[in-house]
């Protein structure tokens, strides 16, 4: 490493160039009058109000759709309950029908009416097919 000479004259950099200033524009826009500023502020407020109303309408539409879906869900749940109840009733009726048409019950009803079963010896079969002797 080379030794640094603190007492030697330092190199001086050239001064930075001074930025040029632009000449003032001659056709400058006049300052907006107070009335136009108020109109602009009112227009902005009205625009914000319009956006708030649109968002409120959108939100109320979403809520209305959710309520309609909830009502439909409640109706479907009620119908499911009715369907389950009807299935249970159908099963109970099928059970009662099976019990009513059982062989022992029919035999008992026939005996009450005085009917008896024919003996197997007296049973014969008749062939009703045409063309057979």
- In order along its 133 residues, the chain shows pLDDT tens digits of 455 666 667 676 787 888 888 766 666 666 556 567 677 777 777 888 999 999 999 999 999 999 999 999 999 999 999 999 999 999 999 999 988 888 888 888 899 999 988 888 888 888 888 776 5
Token pair listed for 84? 């389950």
- Give the count of domains, the chain: 1
Output the six-digit token pair for 11. 């190199």
Q: Which domain holds residue 48?
A: 37-112
The answer, as to whether pTM is greater than 0.75, is no
Is the residue at 76 inside a domain?
yes
Length of the chain: 133
Whether residue 6 lies inside any domain: the answer is no
């Amino acid at each position: 490493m080379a030794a640094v000479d603190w007492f030697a004259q330092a190199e001086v950099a050239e001064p930075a160039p001074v930025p040029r200033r632009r000449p003032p524009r001659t056709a400058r826009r006049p300052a907006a009058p107070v009335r136009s500023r108020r109109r602009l502020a009112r227009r902005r407020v009205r625009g914000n109000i319009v956006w708030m109303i649109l968002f409120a309408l959108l939100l109320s539409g979403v809520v209305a759709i959710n309520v309609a879906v909830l009502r439909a869900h409640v109706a479907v749940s009620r119908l499911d309950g009715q369907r389950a109840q009807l299935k249970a009733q159908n099963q109970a009726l099928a059970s009662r029908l099976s019990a009513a048409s059982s062989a022992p019950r029919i035999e008992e009803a026939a005996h009450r009416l005085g009917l008896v079963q024919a003996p197997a010896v007296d049973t014969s079969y008749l062939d009703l097919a045409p063309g057979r002797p």
